Structure 1
Amino acid sequence: MIDSARLSPAESRPGAAFELEGATHVHVEEALRRLEKALQTMQLGVTITDVAGRIVYTNAADAGMHGYSVQELIGKDVGIFSLPEERHPLTQEQLRSVTTWQRESLNIRKDGSVFPVRLLSDVVVSADGEPIGVVTTCEDITERKAAEDRLREAYEELDQRVLERTSELSEANARLREEIAERQRTEEERIALEDQLRQAQKMEALGRLTGGIAHDFGNLLTVMLANAELAARTLPTEYEHILDELEVLQGAGRKARDLVRKLLGFSREQ
């Protein structure tokens, strides 16, 4: 209730209630004009439809981004903005069960070109809670999608470079491992050759030593065998037991001589 003490003289006169009502109506109209001006100048598209999906209001931004004038759209079905496969009008029952929803979609312009949008819709209800319309804001996200595509391409290019670099590193590592293995094989062969050389040198030295010993020993055996044979020929037969010993000595000497010959043969091979 409005306090009469706060009313102006005009408001206290007969008919003041009508003046007050008129003033309130003016204020409401002014507020509506301001709201419409704000909606018409904002960059975000705004469209209001009734429950049947007919456009009852749209701002210049929404009309312009779709290639229409505002006048062309009033009374049209809101599906005019959507591709046929994207048109999913909500029933009255569905409008009662939801209050707001958002999505990304593809809208179509008057010239048939398609562009990506982000949509946010709110159900408008009457005083008794019944849906009477839908307010939808529409944002053209072409630039954002293009930026996302560029970013994705940059990531893909980076991934490709990483893969290429990884492949190069793998090949380099493989070559390095092969080089290391080759060096190991070369080192093992060098060590084996050195071992063989040392062994050959040892055998050569042993051959020379064996040859020298065998030669000297052979000379001694020659003298011993010659003396044993001479003694066997010159001893009288009554020294039979000595002759037997000389025979044994000669047999051992001949075996030793054969061994010396083998040693001399070994020394020549080395």
Structure 2
Amino acid sequence: MNKKSILIVEDEKIISKDIKRILIKFGYEVSGIAVSGKEVFAQIQKHKPDLILMDIILKGDLSGIDTAEKIIERWNIPIIYLTAYADEQTLQKAKTTIPYGYILKPFEEKELYAIVEMAFHKHKLEKKLIQSVEYTRNIIDSSLDMIITINKDEKIVEFNRAAEEIFGYSKKDIKEKPFNTLFSKKEQAAEILEITLKKKKSTFEVMNKRANGELFHSFFSASVICDHQGKTIGIMGIARELTEQKQSEKKLRELKEAVETLRLGVTITDINGKIIYTNPADAELHGYAVQELIGKNVKIFAPKDLRRRTSLKQIKKWTGLIRESKNVRKDGSIFPTWLISNVVKDNKGNPIAIVTTCEDITERKEMQKQLLRSERLAGIGELSAGIAHEIRNPLGNISSSAQFCLNKFELNDDLKQFLEIILRNSENANKIIKELLDFANPRTISLKSGNINEIITEVIKLVSPRCLESNIKIKINKDENIPEIMMDQKWLEQAFLNFVLNAKESMPDGGILNIESSFDPHKKEIIIEFSDSGEGISKENMKKIFDPFFTTKTNGVGLGLSLVHQIISAHRGKINVYSIVGKGTKFVITLPVN
């Protein structure tokens, strides 16, 4: 263990040698003996002693007290004064150098030992205290949070670097300024002090003010500072600026509002598929309320035959998954969707969530069908027109020749009968050609304002006698408040008549025909329904009923519903068909009001 070294400053040789003897006796090392201030400085530079025994009265220009002042200023070495003088004036002057003790000459050996040991102990404690203060200061200054302390007079006494940077004040400039200087409203500062003194601690979200007058939000936590007796001597506040957080919260609110108002469905799940967010559009699209979906597995949207387990390994490889699929609603109905999924990753690149947008593409699919159908019909129409023109002329010649023979010559009954058969079949063939030409030629729509109910009434007048003959009861339920629309009455009458006649033919043994009209104010659509209790249509035939030349009748051409589809499409309407074999068929026509 290293011995403590002591420098003796004493101009009386006998006394200095005696002090040296005593110190060595007690296990100390004497680094040297100096008799003047100048010698002291040289000895310190050379030996760097741990303590100095300093006589107050020295030879030369510098007294022991003057020398001590310079030592403390430059080296901070503990000093014990040796003096034969204990007058009040000398003691007061010596106090200014904060000595570690006094010893009056002459003194006992143990007395010197005790004072030296106490000086070393005191110095050790002070070094620890300084280190502790420096450590605390480093912690305070390295904190990213603002740390501010105030005294009982509500004046600022501590202001760390973070506070300097954020508020824009230097510690020197803000020290001893009122605490309320840091707030946009003085009442906020007063409230913090009042509640903190009352409850010993408090937290607030406040509006602060920088040195340049700029305002900012902060989260302010305050607690009282007490002395060793538990008496409150001040308050310490720790504050964190919330400007970025507030901006982020604002952006999140704006983003949420944007997503909430989207008509596109948006759902966010964790990597296990649990729904953590869904917007109203996605919930409504699937027939749920938002609250019903939170916490559920996203597979709730998928039909059972399409449910697949996706591993974390697969998810990590996703860079965006785009696909056409099918989703299922709460009521069990299935509809086509366009899905886009993206993975949300943390700072380390690990997946933490999946965002999926969902679009109902029912209308798009229907439009695609309509487009394909229109292209197919256009081709069939051109072919039909060509065939009709090619057949019509020879057919006319056949019909005219048969008529000429009947009128010009005296024929026996058998020949007349054969010629009449030729004429009848020629007329039937001509009717088919006319239907072909009607189908091939584009509909000329002449729009006028009118009421759908009037068309229904006219159609009923035309078919009632035939329906009565076939034992078919017609039930009518018309919404008398439906608005008028722009329409071609002639063509819509033909379309509705076709629906009624088809229903009649599907009920050879009689039945019930329901005709209803209604108005959907939300979609701004008029709805017309024709439902019968007839034979129904098989699933296989349902796909083909609007195709030209498709028919299940023995004497039909198969152009009726194709023409109807053209008429309704020309009015920007839609036809939906629902049928169960053996129970009946329902045609639902929707026509836009605008």
TM-score w.r.t. the length of structure 1 is 0.57
Report the secondary structure of 2:349's partner residue: coil
Counterpart Cα distance in 1 of 2:163 and 2:392: 92
Larger relative contact order, structure 1 or 2 (CA cutoff 8 Å, min sep 6) = 1
Residue 255 of structure 2, aligned match among 35, 38, 44: 35
* Structure 1 outlier segments of 4+, above 6 Å: 11-17
Residue 365 of structure 2 aligns with which residue? 145
Residue 117 of structure 1 aligns with which residue? 337
Greater displacement, 62-71 / 1-10 = 1-10
Matched length: 176
Residue 239 of structure 2 aligns with which residue? 18
Greater displacement, 100-109 / 140-149 = 140-149
Q: Write out per-residue CA displacement over residues 34-61 of structure 1, whole angstroms, 9 at most, x where no aligned residue.
A: 2211111111110001111111110001
Q: Write out per-residue CA displacement over residues 125-152 of structure 1, whole angstroms, 9 at most, x where no aligned residue.
A: 1111111111001111121112112112
Report the secondary structure of 1:18's partner residue: strand
Residue 374 of structure 2 aligns with which residue? 154
Residue 103 of structure 2 aligns with which residue? none
User: Where do residues 65-80 of structure 1 align in structure 2 (5 Å cutoff)?
Assistant: 65-80=285-300
Counterpart Cα distance in 2 of 1:65 and 1:73: 12
Q: Write out per-residue CA displacement over residues 170-214 of structure 1, whole angstroms, 9 at most, x where no aligned residue.
A: 6589x6xxxxxxxxxxxxxxxxxxxxxxxxxxxxxxxxxxxxxxx
Q: Percent of aligned positions with the same letter in both sequences? A: 40
Counterpart Cα distance in 2 of 1:67 and 1:89: 24
Counterpart Cα distance in 2 of 1:170 and 1:102: 51
Structure 2: stretches of 5+ with no match in the other structure: 1-143, 145-161, 170-181, 183-207, 212-219, 221-235, 395-594
- Check 1:35–1:42 CA distance in 2 against 1; reply closer, same or farther (3 A cut): same
Report the secondary structure of 1:136's partner residue: strand
Counterpart Cα distance in 1 of 2:254 and 2:341: 22
Counterpart Cα distance in 2 of 1:16 and 1:127: 32
- Check 1:17–1:52 CA distance in 2 against 1; reply closer, same or farther (3 A cut): same
Q: Write out per-residue CA displacement over residues 81-139 of structure 1, whole angstroms, 9 at most, x where no aligned residue.
A: 11112222321000111210111111111111111111111011111111111100111
- Deviation at 1:17? 7.4
Kindly provide the amino acid, as one letter, of the partner of residue 87 in structure 1: R
- Deviation at 1:5? 6.0
Q: Write out per-residue CA displacement over residues 222-244 of structure 1, whole angstroms, 9 at most, x where no aligned residue.
A: xxxxxxxxxxxxxxxxxxxxxxx
Q: Write out per-residue CA displacement over residues 3-52 of structure 1, whole angstroms, 9 at most, x where no aligned residue.
A: 966745647699897241x3332332222222211111111110001111
Counterpart Cα distance in 2 of 1:159 and 1:113: 35
Q: Which has the higher strand share?
A: 2
Given that 1:53 and 1:89 are in contact with CA atoms closer than 8 Å, whether structure 2 keeps it comes out as no
RMSD of the alignment, in Å? Answer: 3.3
Structure 1: stretches of 5+ with no match in the other structure: 176-270
Counterpart Cα distance in 2 of 1:116 and 1:23: 45
